[in-house]
Structures are given as structure tokens and as C-alpha cells.
Amino acid sequence: MGNKLDILRDYQVAEEEAAELDSVCAMMGDSTVSHNLLKVYDEKRRSVRNEISNLQNILEAIEAAED
């Protein structure tokens, strides 16, 4: 069961990271520097969202196997 707990913790950490990236992206203004940073943050945010989706799928599969 430790594996499931590890995955759940990774999921929670990724959710927190995604929320922080969303917040940073929302606060950035319209300048060349912020545009470049926003591009980097947006790429990282997409990566984190993909990780969340993958972890969610794994957790759902584990829960289905437990039933």
C-alpha cells in the first residue's frame, strides 16, 4: 500500500505546484520579459498538468484493482 501512498503524495505535490504556476501566470503583466517567462511557466504548467493526469489514472487503476 506504500506505493499508493507515494503516488497520492506525488499527486498532491503536483496539484500544489500547478496551483502556484497558475497564480504566477495570472500575475504576470504584458512585457517582453514577462511574455518569455510566461511561455516557460506555461510549458512547465502543461507538464505538471500531464503529470497530474497520469498520477490520477494510476490512482484510479489502483482503486479499481482494490475493489
Summarised one tens digit per residue, pLDDT across range 4-45 is: 889 999 999 999 999 988 887 777 766 677 778 888 888 988
Domain boundaries, the chain: 2-66
Residue whose C-alpha is closest to residue 45's, from 28, 10, 20, 27: 20
Q: How far apart are CA 28 and CA 4, in angstroms?
A: 36
pLDDT of amino acid 12: 94
Compute how many other C-beta atoms are within 10 angstroms of the C-beta atom of residue 33. 9
pLDDT of amino acid 30: 64
Q: How far apart are CA 2 and CA 8, in angstroms?
A: 10
pLDDT of amino acid 2: 63
Q: Looking at the whole model, is its pTM more than 0.85?
A: no
